[in-house]
Amino acid sequence: MEAFLLSTGIVALAEMGDKTQLLALVLAARFRKPWPIVAGILAATLANHAAAGAVGAWIQSMVGPGTLRVLLGISFLAMAAWMLVPDRLDADEAQKAPRLGVFGTTLVLFFLAEIGDKTQIATVMLAARFEGALAWVVAGTTLGMMLANTPAVWLGEKLTRRVPVRAVHLVSAVIFAALGIAALWMA
């Protein structure tokens, strides 16, 4: 349960102000069809985070516990620093034609935008951290993405005006730094 709860919290915080959350806002403003957008986000996130979790589980199986703790500690500290760098949505991501429909466009754009993103890297690290809890990590990171992006779709731009994104990024950075220090301390 720890893997699920920690994964949910970390990704929900990391996603605030992230480019995929901005993409959710753009898609909601452009298509004004929240249900297919939310469904596309869910499907893309499940696929992307399942693959990322599998990579994390593979890494965990390939290195010894001490080396893994050091790698995780350094990775979490790097994520803490990365959280302090705000994301911006690329202009061309918002201009894709909806040939695939709202669901398909959301699915493709979200899957591609999530590749190499903070939340995908966090999923890899969390899956490596929690041995044997791949399903819980993927479920937690997916729920975290949905907790951050579903309100963005439903509430649109109003959400970004009320949530102090910088403060959320600072809290996320502190959590990642604490996890990194704890992992290095245990190594």
Token pair 């957008």 in the structure block, residue: 37
Side-chain-side CA neighbours of 83 within 13 Å: the count stands at 29
Q: How many residues does the chain have?
A: 187
Domain boundaries, position 35: 2-186
Output the CA torsion 19→24→25→29 (10° steps).
Answer: 140
In the chain, how many H helices and how many E strands? Answer: 9, 0
Side-chain-side CA neighbours of 24 within 13 Å: the count stands at 35
What global pTM score does this model have? 0.74
Q: Can you give the pLDDT of all 187 residues of the chain as single tens digits? A: 999 999 999 999 888 877 788 788 878 877 778 999 999 999 999 999 999 999 999 988 888 778 877 887 887 788 778 767 765 555 454 444 467 789 998 999 889 888 888 889 999 999 999 989 999 999 999 999 999 999 888 876 555 556 666 776 677 678 778 878 987 888 6
Domain count, the chain: 1
